[in-house]
Every structure is written in C-alpha cells, then in structure tokens.
A and B are shown apart, each in its own frame.
Chain A
C-alpha cells in the first residue's frame, strides 16, 4: 500500500514538474517564431545606446540608434524579454552568468549577448538593467516593432544567430528559460560553429 502511495506521489510529481518546466515562459498566443535557416530581420533600434554598449557591441556610437547587423561578432545570442515577464525577471541572474561565461571562455570577441525588451520603453529597460545589474546590452523596443518582426514570441525567447554576409542568419531558437547557462553556451558554440574557447 505504502509502495503504491509512494509511486503515485512520484508519478504525480514527475508529471507536475514536466508541465511546470514546459511553461517556463510567458507564453504568447500569437507566437510564430522565425525558423532556423532564415535570415534574421535587419533591425535598427531607435533608442540611443550608451557609450559602453557601443563598445560592447563594436557597433554604432553612444547616443545613437544601433543597427543589429553592424554588431561586430560571428554570432549573437539575441534574447527577447520583457521587464513585465516574471520568468524573465527570474532568468536575469542566469543571463548575467551566461555573459560572464562568454567572457571567461574567451568568446567575447566572437559572440555577443544582447537583450531586447519587447514593448519596454527605455525607462522600463533601465529598471530591469538597474535591478539586476545587467552587464550586457539591453535594447528598447517600445512600439513592439521588432517584436512583431520576430514572430511575437513568448518571453524569454532565445534567437541564436550566426554571421552570414552583412547580416545574421538564425541558427536556433528556444522558448523559455535556460536549464543551465553552461549547457546553453555549449549548444550555442556547437550550432554556430564557433571555436570552443577556453
């Protein structure tokens, strides 16, 4: 009897876990993510970036809008998030860890991590930046223009991009939080064909 109860508890728990894991994102009923292999839209973000961000991206200049295609890197992890998304709030420390890993593995010159606040004004992006001391570039997409071009995905959504000519092509996409920054970075390196780093 006890064994039966125990297996029931275990089974229920596994089931509940898998459902919870599947939903680690604020879902969007209109989501149509762009598929791997497709060219990433040529986006320019109208809100001015800071000097530090221009330096981080190797593109644009402080106080001016930035064009994503100009980012100097072989690959980009482009995270669609929102200050208003509780999962993104929870994912923020893991993203900081991912950024630190990129640096410690010596990949910073080839791989950039960029976040885009879907529907977030520059003020709202800054609330997120300050709250989590985000060290990488966060772009504002106040009017949802880029968000719409990117398939109105749930958040967080990870687009993994690799350089193709003057722009980027989508190498992979993932809805929901990373299980671990290390494993995620391993996957990115593999899918973009970057040298493995340290």
Chain B
C-alpha cells in the first residue's frame, strides 16, 4: 500500500516535468553547425516530372510510400538536413501548429531526413511528437534524396520541399537555403495552385 502511494506520489510530482519538457528540445542537445553553404547539390528533377516512388521506414514502424497517397491526397515532402540541429528543430513543431494549412488543402505532409531510424525517432519524441509521418532515408544512404538531387556531399539532404499532386507529378520545388526556414505562406500558395 505504502509503495503504491509512494509511486503515485512520485508520478504526480514528476508529471508536470514531462508536460513541460514536451515540445521543445533543450539547447544542449542541439548541434550548432554554424553557417553552411546555402545549397550544395544539383537537382535531378523538375516541376512537371513524375515523382520517383519511394518506400521508406517510418518512425511509427510503418512503411511510408508515395503509392499509398496517389489518387487520394496531394503530398508535401519536407526534407530536413538532420535531426538535433537548430532550424529543423523549429520547422516541424511549426508544422504541428499548422496542420489545418495542410488538411484544408487536401495535402499530406511527410517529413524525411537521412538520419537513421532510432536517432530520428528520439529527436521527434523529444520535440513532443508530430502529427505527420516521418520517414528515414538512411539506407541505402540518402537513396530518395539522391534520386531527387538534393543529397549534399556530406551525406545530409538539403532543406527542401516538394509538392506532388494526386497524379504523382511534382508541382512545386523549394530547395531552400539550408540555414533558414522556408515560409509556410509560399508552400500554402503552391498547394492552392493545385486546385
């Protein structure tokens, strides 16, 4: 009985900590890469091309496939260079708040990075989780990023957005300056243009 009480008390006391910890990554866990070359790769696809199909492992244990969305939903691929880095650690929590922007435009957001699954998962859990599927393009390393032409020589992807319509055609590409966050307004405009 006493043990039960004790564990209940301990849980109650610790609960607010978890609540507070959710949603933001402590600064000491964020790697500061300094200013990087804005882009460092050459695109291999263009607006109007058919998007390459992909079949990647997701952090929820399911596969993430483009073919699952064809004919049903527009797809937004959000590539981020690496888990545990500054800009990325803000970009996806922002998309968390902006779910309506995607839902309201009949689009499914998919997050991708070239990190391996365990690291990617730990990072997303630390930021409090996200509502959209997160896929790892770790092996063969940067396979999808490479097909799209956004794999940088150091093995991370560009910070890039691809909008793929329901027919599987690439309709918008933003290979962004890796050091800065793309404006959500531009992406929303690109999705509006699909209607």
Where the two chains meet, the residues of A that have a C-beta atom closer than 8 Å to any C-beta of B are 2, 5-6, 9-10, 13, 16-17, 20-21, 23-24, 26-27, 29, 82-87, 89-90, 119, 121-124, 127-128, 130-131, 142
**Stretch binding the partner chain, chosen from B7-15, B38-46, B135-143:** B7-15
Q: Is the CB of A122 within 8 A of B24?
A: no
Q: Which of B9, B86, B97, B184 contacts A89 (CB 8 A)?
A: B97
Q: Which residues of B contact A29 (CB under 8 A)?
A: 27, 32, 86
CA distance A39 to B183 in the complex (A): 31
**Which residue of chain A lies nearest to B101 when distances are taken between CB atoms in the complex?**
A127
Q: Is the CB of A2 within 8 A of B6?
A: yes
9 A–B contacts, CB within 8 A, in A order = A6-B9, A17-B13, A17-B17, A20-B20, A84-B90, A84-B97, A121-B184, A123-B188, A131-B100
**Which residue of chain A lies nearest to B188 when distances are taken between CB atoms in the complex?**
A123
Q: Which of A2, A9, A23, A124 contacts B183 (CB 8 A)?
A: A124
Between A23, A29, A84, A131, the greatest number of chain B beta carbons within 10 A of the residue's beta carbon is seen for A84
Q: Which residues of A contact B181 (CB under 8 A)?
A: 84, 119
- B contact residues, total (Cβ < 8 Å): 33
Nearest Cβ in chain A — how far from B7, in angstroms?
9
Q: Is the CB of A82 within 8 A of B90?
A: yes
Q: A9-B6, A9-B13, A142-B183 are in contact. Are A127 and B21 (CB under 8 A)?
A: no
CA distance A6 to B61 in the complex (A): 38
Where the two chains meet, the residues of B that have a C-beta atom closer than 8 Å to any C-beta of A are 2, 6, 9-10, 13-14, 16-17, 20-24, 26-27, 32, 86, 90-91, 93-94, 96-98, 100-101, 127-128, 181, 183-185, 188
CA distance A160 to B168 in the complex (A): 51
The interface residues of chain A, by DSSP majority, are classed as: helix
Q: Give the tally of cross-chain contacts (CB within 8 A).
A: 88
Q: Which residues of B contact A84 (CB under 8 A)?
A: 90-91, 93-94, 97, 181
Q: Is the CB of B184 within 8 A of A124?
A: yes
Q: Which of A5, A6, A21, A87 contacts B23 (CB 8 A)?
A: A87
CA distance A175 to B183 in the complex (A): 25
CA distance A85 to B96 in the complex (A): 10
Q: Which residues of B contact A83 (CB under 8 A)?
A: 94, 97-98, 184
**Which residue of chain A lies nearest to B87 when distances are taken between CB atoms in the complex?**
A84
Q: Which residues of B contact A85 (CB under 8 A)?
A: 24, 90, 93
Q: Is the CB of A13 within 8 A of B97?
A: no
Nearest Cβ in chain B — how far from A141, in angstroms?
13
CA distance A119 to B97 in the complex (A): 16
Q: Is the CB of B21 within 8 A of A20?
A: yes
Nearest Cβ in chain B — how far from A16, in angstroms?
5
Q: Which of B6, B21, B27, B100 contacts A5 (CB 8 A)?
A: B6
**Which residue of chain B lies nearest to A26 when distances are taken between CB atoms in the complex?**
B24
